[in-house]
Structure 1
């Protein structure tokens, strides 16, 4: 079959020559005719209609618009950005007037083979199709090893004395909510009216607060009121995060893409905590369909914005009151990591499509998209406001500069996909962990923005017998001591390492299933782990001993994420839990940790 399109450089030259003549650029037309030897061209004496070049470019631009908007989804149907000839087009709409979602039957599926639980196979970016979740495939916030209606029976709940309290039941599709006042809360909030989809409305209808009794691991006595269980989500909760400025505010996100913003006062001056928590604010953006698992949640450093990465490939940012701030469909695959830059000017998103996008937060637009990894970009972190780092399933780490299209440094050494990358507090070294069962520490001082290089020198952390899913730096280190780093693995253990020598200082093996979450206390004294067995363990770092444990029970037990908060009289851990619950542990009520 013959090629249906045939364009030659000679034809292009004749079009440009005609354009120059039409525009009055006689000298430019003469030079092009002479340099291009157009008198010898068979097209030179053909009639070229006036404005033909501009008309052809207009048709090409119209085709580009059709090509970009073929999906017919919410963003492309309501796109307000004009197409321009020499600028990359990104769809956007006015967040004050979010368009209605398209019918479910017409919702695009750029990756139809994606499962509903955001699983990434250990050795490639390939995805399981309609198969059951496995323990080794849960690292990207999957929903857990057991279906909701078939709970595992090997463990019994360690909680009793539950106090159930129904609060603020709402049912209309326009929900008006208010955060309760407290002595430590931010400035008084005015009622916020948020229009949300039906699923989000149903989620906000009931908020249940449970005060759960705790059973210490080595003692039979019970500590009443140390854990609050917040029940407003209708699906497994995958992510959570404390607001860095307004310390009573907590955001949580679930499998159905709903994000709740809670106001959770701490204990008063007499140490008494409230058991009445008002209904959460519901963020305005919600996905439709099954590809809606949330994978990442982060607050801006000033506490004004919260962003989430979702398996439906859509980037979403809301303000602290849950109102829509910005959304975009630039990525062609699930978004696995979202990060604000130190100053808050830039925002970084990393995706299964292998790219990392840099967004201008104030202008609400794409600044630059870096196509980096061959398969998928799994994690990212900022080194400064100008440099960032990414890791991917291609076993590579790239250190990038916003003004450079190429990596300033490529870090080589891992033999399998790299699940996380984290910079130390001083931004001089980088920690990474991988499915190759190792962690690595890299020296990233003195990166030259004018020199591109590869680096394979690293301190290797060996000892795990399963994929290493998390790696975190200890926030504080005593004078004269080397920085500590901790890892957790699907082998059921967590380890603390000397980051300079690579020596394993201790290993904790109390979990019976995969360890999903890992967090140091901000004061550097303790470390907490949580996993698929529903247990939360807290260890004393210096003594290398477990101090306290808690179990959620045997039904849908997994704890997917934890975040530790210490500020003033606040010392607590938030937990994102499989049983559609957000847990808040008040550690001031645990004698073993005082």
Structure 2
């Protein structure tokens, strides 16, 4: 049995994706020419790299515990290993039993009072860490969940339509799908499937490119996907992110070729290419219909405007890769987060950041609340949520349309819903 260098590259690429290192995964995929390999990603199981390493260590462990004649060496590595594993198993069993007993006591005492009142939600929040240690299946009643089937490999991203109950999904199987959530889930929802293909010998075949970025236009009538953008619009050398402007006449893209491009959505022509970053451009966000912010691994944030041949503003101050930039709903403040464990808020009225918030872990993403000026909730307070790599990495956060609730998704396979007014955990 052997493994090729292409296969090694692919499992490393998959490990980076599964661990949330999306920027590193993109860069590694480009430099190692993942898209040119013949490996079928759908056949590679999750956590393949970890599994290979673990099996390799087990083989080495067994190898040093056997004599040349095949007899077992009792005093070699195995006794210590067995003792360690037995102790780890006992510790885990005791932890599970204690957590199960605590959960039973909570249920017996009727902690889940309605609407997350003080004796309910706060009690759950205080005991949340222990409860998450319980290793078991959580059954969700059918009337509270809709499952969309069809993808043949990992689903990387999803995006809600802003005007109807349509959910778009992007996957490693080189397809994007749109599911109609307003239909009866028991009869199976209708899905539109968009396959990203290339021409080969007169036939369309999958292009082996992941769909990792989706964006609806403001009217919910058009959807852009990144797996096919480079070949359709044809000017990027590998793209990472795509965004519609609110007027839906332009599409903005960022690429590993260190540039950002504004495209005419009607004709598909490139209106202007902005070659200002010195490293791959990782994300973009519109401020208005012709002005946007872009960020890169070069630690710079450029504010660019269609028709201008230089950035109209450049924000510098992060000491590591900038992960996300987001304008507030009014377009007055720009928030950015970084691996330097800071969250900074910028204003076009000054060069230095308005606020510099320090965290104790890398901040992965941020979201503004849909409240305040120029929103449907003008009287609501403007809030900014962040997700960081704390004890359990949190990869995504999202506000409800009214700003009253915040949802967070974590590496612990759980989704939590919080009340933004009280900070109480509402559902888990």
User: TM-score, structure 2 length as denominator?
Assistant: 0.65
Indicate whether 1:328 and 2:224 are aligned.
Answer: no
The residue that corresponds to 2:229 in the other structure is: 315
Partners of 2:168 and 2:24 in 1: CA distance: 29
Matches within 5 A, 1:123-522: 146-147=47-48, 223-245=141-163, 247-265=164-182, 274-286=185-197, 292-310=209-227, 314-315=228-229, 327-333=232-238, 335-444=239-348, 455-465=351-361, 467-477=362-372, 483-492=382-391, 512=392, 514-522=393-401
Partners of 1:535 and 1:545 in 2: CA distance: 16
Task: Provide Cα deviations, 1:396-453, integer angstroms capped at 9, x if missing partner.
Answer: 00000111110000001111111111110111000111111111111125xxxxxxxx
Indicate whether 1:525 and 2:404 are aligned.
Answer: yes
Partners of 2:382 and 2:282 in 1: CA distance: 25
Q: Shift of the alpha carbon at 1:125?
A: 5.7
Residues 412 and 122 (structure 1), Cα distance of their counterparts in 2 relative to 1, 3 Å cut: farther
The residue that corresponds to 2:422 in the other structure is: 543
Partners of 1:520 and 1:294 in 2: CA distance: 24
Task: Provide Cα deviations, 1:530-570, integer angstroms capped at 9, x if missing partner.
Answer: 12221101111111111111xxxxxxxxxxxxxxxxxxxxx
8 A contact 1:264–1:277 mirrored in 2 = no
8 A contact 1:339–1:380 mirrored in 2 = yes
Task: Provide Cα deviations, 1:243-263, integer angstroms capped at 9, x if missing partner.
Answer: 222x12221110122111111
Partners of 2:268 and 2:29 in 1: CA distance: 32
Q: CA RMSD in A?
A: 3.8
Residues 124 and 243 (structure 1), Cα distance of their counterparts in 2 relative to 1, 3 Å cut: closer
Question: Which has more radius of gyration?
Answer: 1
Q: Shift of the alpha carbon at 1:366?
A: 1.1
Matches within 5 A, 1:5-154: 115=13, 146-147=47-48
Residues 389 and 227 (structure 1), Cα distance of their counterparts in 2 relative to 1, 3 Å cut: same
Q: Shift of the alpha carbon at 1:295?
A: 2.1
User: Which contiguous aligned blocks of 4+ residues in structure 1 show a shift greater than 6 angstroms?
Assistant: 121-124, 126-130, 151-156, 217-222, 287-290, 478-481
Name structure 2 gaps, 5 residues minimum: 1-8, 33-43, 55-88, 97-127, 133-137, 199-204
Q: Shift of the alpha carbon at 1:290?
A: 8.0
User: Whose helix fraction is larger, Structure 1's or Structure 2's?
Assistant: 2
Name structure 1 gaps, 5 residues minimum: 1-110, 131-142, 157-216, 267-272, 317-325, 446-453, 493-511, 550-594
Partners of 2:146 and 2:381 in 1: CA distance: 36
Task: Provide Cα deviations, 1:15-54, integer angstroms capped at 9, x if missing partner.
Answer: xxxxxxxxxxxxxxxxxxxxxxxxxxxxxxxxxxxxxxxx
